[in-house]
Structure 1
Amino acid sequence: MSDDKISVERTIPASSAEVFEVLSNPERHVELDGSGFVVSDEKTDRIQGTGDVFTMNMTGDHMGGDYQTENHVTGFSQNKLLAWQTAPAGQEPPGWQWVWELEPEGSDATLVRLTYDWSSVTDKELLEKISFPLVSQHQLEDSLDNLSQAVTGS
């Protein structure tokens, strides 16, 4: 593991299409979030491709309470990849991104890798304000557990 990203992975007993169906629906992200920061989706449509932007309602002491993020989709491959850079609403993404990679393991299992990458954050003021990583490896593993439960119901 490098000093500017964290990756976790696990096999989920579902097809990559079933996993992607949940991941590409921002309404479901609150149930996936292992950090406790995501409150709700701001009525965003299903993610359809690179360039889409979805808005989330968030909360956290690091931002002084409630806030919104705009998530700019930077990677999209149906049933294989979903990635986005997060920014405070109305701002350009400052450089951290979330990457979900799906690798089918037969027809009814998928290796899911979640990477939280802040290697492109260069704003010195932001780096002083926010102590990266803001989300821990354990919280990312919780997100994978939550995804498994959301997809399989168990």
Structure 2
Amino acid sequence: MADKPVAVDSGPHQVSRQIVVNAPVAEIFALVANPHRHPELDGSGTVRHTPVTGPERLERGARFSVGMKQYGFPYKITSTVTEFADNQVIEWRHPMGHRWRWEMASESPTSTRVTETFDYSRLKMPKAIEIIGYDKKNADGIEATLTALSARFV
């Protein structure tokens, strides 16, 4: 896989990008599973460097809140973990109903294939996301996030 994220077809109304990172799967999973470290991962520029509330390690059903800022307006969201499998997948549901999903698969003892997905397929009007351009905006954020993640482990 290339040094930059590549698009992955994950189905309608989903935006996925994938990259291979030079780090063991457990190390990357530990970073994503700790919501207090999410500002370190953020490539979108929306996650502020304010305290995150929630557990130190996510699990299915866990809730966590993150301070964010978009278009100059600060806000706070609380998400709920909808899927969790150690060293494999973490997914959480945003209050508006879309989901953020991280999938990890070990390529070798020292490299991991990481896929991040913005899934808006369960929304009542998923086309609205596309009309306002949030599918493309989130694709750009995912690419920046995965690029920064990969750069951490060069």
The answer on 1:60 being equivalent to 2:62 is: no
Q: Is the 8 A contact 1:95 1:119 kept in 2?
A: no
AA at the equivalent of 1:23: V
Q: From 31, 42, 45, give the equivalent of 2:52.
A: 42
AA at the equivalent of 1:141: E
Q: 2-side partners of 1:58 and 1:101: how far apart?
A: 23
Q: From 137, 141, 144, give the equivalent of 2:146.
A: 144
Q: Is the 8 A contact 1:10 1:112 kept in 2?
A: yes
Q: 2-side partners of 1:10 and 1:137: how far apart?
A: 13
How many Å apart are 1:47 and its aligned residue? Answer: 2.9
AA at the equivalent of 1:146: A
Q: Is the 8 A contact 2:44 2:140 kept in 1?
A: no
How many Å apart are 1:43 and its aligned residue? Answer: 3.4
SS in 2 for 1:76: strand
AA at the equivalent of 1:114: E
Count of aligned positions? 141
Q: From 21, 26, 33, give the equivalent of 2:35.
A: 26
SS in 2 for 1:71: strand
Q: 1-side partners of 2:106 and 2:85: how far apart?
A: 13
- Could you list the per-position Cα deviations for residues 43-87 of structure 1 after superposition, in whole angstroms to 9, with x for gaps in the alignment? 3222331100010000112xx711100010011011110100112
How many Å apart are 1:35 and its aligned residue? Answer: 0.8
How many Å apart are 1:5 and its aligned residue? Answer: 1.2
Q: Is the 8 A contact 1:60 1:66 kept in 2?
A: yes
Which ranges in structure 2 are unaligned for 5 or more consecutive residues? 1-8
Residue 92 of structure 2 is matched in structure 1 by 84
Which ranges in structure 1 are unaligned for 5 or more consecutive residues? 88-93
User: How much identity, in percent, do the aligned residues show?
Assistant: 29
SS in 1 for 2:83: strand
Change (3 A) 1:81 1:37: same
How many Å apart are 1:3 and its aligned residue? Answer: 4.8
Residue 4 of structure 2 is matched in structure 1 by none
AA at the equivalent of 1:70: T
How many Å apart are 1:138 and its aligned residue? Answer: 2.4
Q: Is the 8 A contact 1:100 1:115 kept in 2?
A: yes
- Could you list the per-position Cα deviations for residues 115-150 of structure 1 after superposition, in whole angstroms to 9, with x for gaps in the alignment? 1011111169xx48x823273322211111222234
